[in-house]
Structure 1
Amino acid sequence: MFEVFKKELKELLRDKKTLIFIVALPVAIFPLLFAVMAFISSQATLEAEQKVHTYAIINGEYAQSFTDKVFYHKSFQLYKGEHTFNTVAELTQAVKAGTIDMGIFLPADAKQNLDDAKQSQWQVVYNDAKAINFLFDRVKELAEEFGNNLRAEKLLSYGVSVEQQSAIIDPIKVVKVDTADKRENLGEKIGGFIPYLLIPLVLMGATYPAIDLGAGEKERGTLETLLLTPITRTQLVLGKFITLLAASIATTTITVLSMGIWISIAITFIDLDVVKTAFSSLRVLDLTLIFIILLPVAAIFSSLSLAISIYARSFKEAQNYMTPLSMGVIFPIIVALLPNVELTAKTAFIPVTNVALAIKEIIKGTIDYTLLGLIFLATVIVAGALLAFCVKWFNKEAVLFR
């Protein structure tokens, strides 16, 4: 068995393409991830701050202080073209034509309406489908500020002080007392995406070598030579399995170490508060737990990949079979991302989903070690069953020589 392992390991180390997937990709994926996050975040912020939108306002004299604030706002520029606008329909047509980005219609004097005990309804015309929703929010904020000032002045004229106004307008103030710390809060939001990245890399570390160890041997005609050697088929398949497991564990080790190293670099040099808050309290113990929980997953993927590769007639056919396997692994990870799907005694026995949930809980810092033990035990049992199936599969002539 160990002779087979040494033989397969030597061939594996000679294959540059496989080494790229086992070593280079796990090392490169995290710096690329953080670089893309930093770039997208900075570009989106910069674009949002620098972009100036053209607007037109009708009846701006009805709320002069509001009109002045919109005029001097850094995000807005008053339309100075030849077109004139008098109705909401004309503003709508201008926005659709791209003449202006936004139109504001003030139907009447807001102060006079308040004196007459009427509510003034202002209309903001813009294209909500163009991802510039903040236009409405900014105008609404300025309008609410103007409305609050009107209300305060009116109440003062009735003899209601500022303190009394606060109590009357908002008699009950509900204050949130969050029992979750920042790590748990952000870990819940972004921790689910870590297994979405880790687990497919562990699968990749097993599938690419497996294709060569099974279907590749058939295609090269070397499988028959191996079967003639004085070792049992069980020893032969176990030797191949250990090789795949070693490759997958190597990928797991490199992936977890790479994640830890690049996270420490990211929270030191990259100005991303979300990343810093979520990962600054991530300990070596947490990374170790993630590594340990991924080990039986690596065994599961190694067994499945080897069984598929043994069944395939050729290298290409094995590659075609690995695609559904990848999709089948992604689905239970997505289940772990769904709202209200939490780590419980029931979900602890769902393969892959349980590991994804456990990794999220580790990132959050709220892992239940009893459930973690159950997950490890359940995953080991599944891995053992799949390995037994793989051995039985390899002992069938109908499978080896299809």
Structure 2
Amino acid sequence: MQFKNVKLIYLREMRDQLRDRRTLFLIAVLPLLLYPLLGTSFFQLTQFLQKVEARVLVVGSRQLRSAEWLPPLIEDDRFAQPLFDQAEWHEKIEVLTPRDFPDLADDLRKGKDLPTDGKQEPISADEAAFDAAAKELLDSGRVEAILVFPNGFEERLVEVRRALVERTAAAGTSFPSPIILYNSPDDKSQVTQLRVLQVLQRWRGEVTEQNLNASNVPVEATTPFELFPRDVAQAQQRQAAVWSKVLPFFVFIWALTGAFYPAVDLCAGEKERGTLETLLTSPALRREIVWGKLLTVMTFSVVTAILNLGSLGLTGKFVIDNLSKTGAFNAIDALSLPPLPSLLWLAVALIPISALFSALCLACAAFARSTKEGQYYLMPIMLVTMPLMMLPMSPGVELNLGNSFVPVTGMVLLLRSVIEGQYAEALRFVVPVLAVTFICCMLAIRWAEEQFNRESVLFRESERLELGRWLVHLVRDRQATPSFAQASLCVALILIVQFFVSLSAAAPDEFTFAFLAKMLIVSQLACVFAPAILMTIMLTREPARTLLLQRTPRWGHLFGVVALALALHPVVVRAAEYIGSLYPIPEATVHAAQQIEGALNSVPDMWIVPGWLIALALMALLPAVCEELAFRGFVLSGFRHVGHKWWAIVLSAVAFGFVHTFLHQKISATMMGVIIGYVAVQTESIWPCILLHTVHNSLQLSVHKAAQIATANPESPLAFLLSGEDPLIYRWPTVALCAAIAASILWNLHGVRHSRTAEEQLEEARQQQGRRSGVPA
């Protein structure tokens, strides 16, 4: 690859993009105008809200006037001013009485007889008339809330006061409480209800204080001590904690959106304009074209994020300063602009993140037939990246070795630590975070290069979807094996069916083997096996080829996968322990595993079939058959149309991991899925995969049971291998030896000549041509 060609393509694409007024407005002008306009709109909205006034109808207020000792609740058609937290609300809430509504006065006065002791009593005619009148007032907007003091409220207050003064017990237990009626869909009514509730709570406190004073009980007796939490963090540290949660999320979102639209214009847009063919016929290699376009998209991604950050920061600072002057915020609590080191670290992190997002967007844009179709791909990219960016904002998610291996999430957590000034903590995990980000960047760039190397992708014609013809085409023009889209749809259907089955399955009071067997059969047959088999029959022309059933397995392959499963067992167990140290196992997962183990220990014998054999059939054989036919059959056959066998193997392994329940199962299943997928591609038969899967699952169950027997019988031969805290079979020398044996078995499979798809043959021919001549393929 020549950097000179990359530079020429980069300058060409930058010049074309800078000539596009729409791109310039979206990338440069819009960020500078958007946030000041939002700030102006916020101030206008604030002024509008300050003019809002509310009306509250009070029913039964006459009961509060005869007791002179009661603190004032209503004064001059307003609630008493000392009862408000903010003085301006005293003038904004107007108090009305039933006489202000002569058309409904008689019905509204009946509210004093409402039952308010929480009992469900039959509704009388008076209560129904009151409910109808109150609903009419609230729905019409004539009042925002109705406060009802039921009959007997004053008498009960007097009785409680007399009991306190005379040191006697108050008669009865029920107490008629005030009712606040409001209309929850109306935001104004809901806010008014909250204000009235605060007024009543403060008034109740004053009533309590009057009663205590009358009974010669100090008010301090109700609160023998006060709580004074004190934050030892400095103001700069508190502000850094806020910025560390906000800045990385918004900056990465801006980087993603800033990369997407230029990528669509550079790929799908050039298809529509007819300029892509001219670029492909130039002396530049396809890789050089991709890198030139990638640098262009990265430039716009970084510039978009920086401009948005600067515009939002200045606008936010201006808004908060003005609000602090009006008293909405304390000047001490007002946020200042982020410190300069934080902005520098964000700028540094933008480079790899923009490269990752730019490569993803470039590959999706190259796959699109038109700009309209390319814009649809923003949603899938957002659905994948948004959870990774939002996960660090969850409570308890911290930077550790396990989280540093999660793409995007590790970078966000690293930035959080740096912005908060925890440099020593960030330095410990900077290497794994950067390594994972670099690997993801290179994979994304490689994917983009493969899209540009495929003529069938670059020159796909735009089409209009007609549902009827498309359904007929799926059945009439079926291919021998499923397409990539059909394989992806199969994975989605499996996940959706699993989701609804898990929601509908209620856990019993006692976790028995019968319940476990029913759940296993339903989850495997209905959730995994049925979608794959139905789609194979309906959408493919050669079901046996799709499910890898057309070739009889070799005996050498069968013996080899059994040896492979035996050799992999210690490695898998040690890997599971390491995964558990990276991601601590939740208590719910441990409890579920204990329930499953208890159910398996109580498997009954059925006729002449022993219980342990039934357990192996359900836990080992059934998942092996269903999952292999689905993921190494239908899904892997569809993913092989991507163009390279390793892309298909890895993607099918990731899909295989996703269908498992717990996080640790997902990771272990993904790693095991890569090995089984490789065996499926090399042997071109599903039977070695089923056998490998069955033996692997059987070993997980059998070795655990044998370890229990060995611990109980120290003199048995099994005790030499499996007993003790560090069994011989799981020691690191044994694990290293078993790993070497497994690698040698897989290497022997590497020499097996397997049949390649048309996409794989084209990719192999292109690579050979590039190695021989060095000219673009």
TM-score tier (shorter): 0.7 to 0.9
Figure out how many residues of one structure are paired with residues of the other and give that number: 392
**8 A contact 2:262–2:297 mirrored in 1:** yes
Q: 1:142 aligns with which of 203, 208, 211?
A: 203
* Structure 2 match to 1:61: 65
* Structure 2 match to 1:296: 352
Indicate how the Cα distance of structure 1 residues 76 and 359 shifts in structure 2: closer, same or farther if over 3 A, else same.
farther
Q: Quick one: which amino acid aligns to residue 357 of structure 2?
A: F
- Percentage identity across paired residues of the two chains: 24
Indicate how the Cα distance of structure 1 residues 379 and 286 shifts in structure 2: closer, same or farther if over 3 A, else same.
same
Q: 1:373 aligns with which of 430, 436, 447?
A: 430
1:4 CA drift (Å) = 0.7
* Structure 1 match to 2:301: 248
Q: 1:312 aligns with which of 368, 371, 374?
A: 368
Q: Distance in 2 between matches of 1:3 and 1:121?
A: 83
Q: Quick one: which amino acid aligns to residue 373 of structure 1?
A: V
Cα offsets for 1:207-261 (capped at 9, x unmatched): 1111121112222222222122112111111111111111111112222332333
1:78 paired with 2:134, answer: no
**8 A contact 1:215–1:315 mirrored in 2:** yes
Cα offsets for 1:126-163 (capped at 9, x unmatched): 22624132211212211221222212221x1xxx5x4x
For structure 1, list consecutive stretches of 5 or more residues without a partner in the other structure. Answer: none
Larger RCO, structure (CA 8 Å, separation 6 or more): 1
1:385 CA drift (Å) = 2.5
More divergent stretch after superposition (2-11 vs 253-262): 253-262
* Structure 2 match to 1:30: 35
1:96 paired with 2:135, answer: yes
Partner SS for 2:283:
coil
Give the TM-score normalised by structure 1: 0.84
1:31 CA drift (Å) = 2.2
Q: 2:177 aligns with which of 122, 130, 134?
A: 122
Q: Distance in 2 between matches of 1:346 and 1:64?
A: 68
More divergent stretch after superposition (55-64 vs 272-281): 272-281
For structure 2, list consecutive stretches of 5 or more residues without a partner in the other structure. Answer: 1-5, 80-89, 115-126, 164-168, 461-777
* Structure 2 match to 1:238: 291
| 1:107-118 matched pairs, under 5 angstroms | 107-116=154-163, 117-118=169-170
Q: Distance in 2 between matches of 1:189 and 1:66?
A: 46
| 1:3-402 matched pairs, under 5 angstroms | 3-41=8-46, 43-44=48-49, 46-47=50-51, 50-58=53-61, 59-61=63-65, 63-64=67-68, 66=70, 68-71=72-75, 72-73=78-79, 74=90, 75-79=93-97, 80-81=99-100, 82=102, 83-84=105-106, 85=109, 86-88=112-114, 89=127, 93-98=132-137, 101-105=145-149, 106-116=153-163, 117-118=169-170, 121-127=176-182, 129=184, 130-132=189-191, 133-154=194-215, 156=216, 160=217, 162=218, 165-166=219-220, 168-181=221-234, 192-271=245-324, 273=329, 277=333, 279-280=335-336, 282-357=338-413, 368-370=425-427, 373-374=430-431, 375-402=433-460
Indicate how the Cα distance of structure 1 residues 111 and 186 shifts in structure 2: closer, same or farther if over 3 A, else same.
farther
Indicate how the Cα distance of structure 1 residues 288 and 260 shifts in structure 2: closer, same or farther if over 3 A, else same.
farther
Partner SS for 2:35:
helix
Indicate how the Cα distance of structure 1 residues 333 and 19 shifts in structure 2: closer, same or farther if over 3 A, else same.
same
**8 A contact 2:57–2:96 mirrored in 1:** yes
**8 A contact 1:194–1:359 mirrored in 2:** no
In our comparison, the structure showing a higher alpha carbon Rg is 2
1:182 CA drift (Å) = 5.1
1:62 CA drift (Å) = 5.4
**8 A contact 1:91–1:103 mirrored in 2:** no
Indicate how the Cα distance of structure 1 residues 244 and 139 shifts in structure 2: closer, same or farther if over 3 A, else same.
same
Cα offsets for 1:158-211 (capped at 9, x unmatched): xx5x4xx51x32234333233445565577678645445332221121111111
**8 A contact 2:317–2:337 mirrored in 1:** no
Partner SS for 1:324:
helix
Indicate how the Cα distance of structure 1 residues 356 and 93 shifts in structure 2: closer, same or farther if over 3 A, else same.
farther
Partner SS for 1:335:
helix
* Structure 1 match to 2:623: none
Give the TM-score normalised by structure 2: 0.46
Q: Quick one: which amino acid aligns to residue 273 of structure 1?
A: F
More divergent stretch after superposition (15-24 vs 290-299): 290-299
Indicate how the Cα distance of structure 1 residues 283 and 42 shifts in structure 2: closer, same or farther if over 3 A, else same.
farther
Q: Distance in 2 between matches of 1:327 and 1:384?
A: 21
Q: Distance in 2 between matches of 1:126 and 1:360?
A: 46
**8 A contact 1:260–1:287 mirrored in 2:** no
Q: Quick one: which amino acid aligns to residue 140 of structure 1?
A: Q
**8 A contact 2:286–2:452 mirrored in 1:** yes
Indicate how the Cα distance of structure 1 residues 250 and 369 shifts in structure 2: closer, same or farther if over 3 A, else same.
same
Cα offsets for 1:309-340 (capped at 9, x unmatched): 11122222222223322333333333344343
Cα offsets for 1:99-148 (capped at 9, x unmatched): 75222312524133232332755323322624132211212211221222
**8 A contact 2:32–2:308 mirrored in 1:** yes
Indicate how the Cα distance of structure 1 residues 18 and 285 shifts in structure 2: closer, same or farther if over 3 A, else same.
same
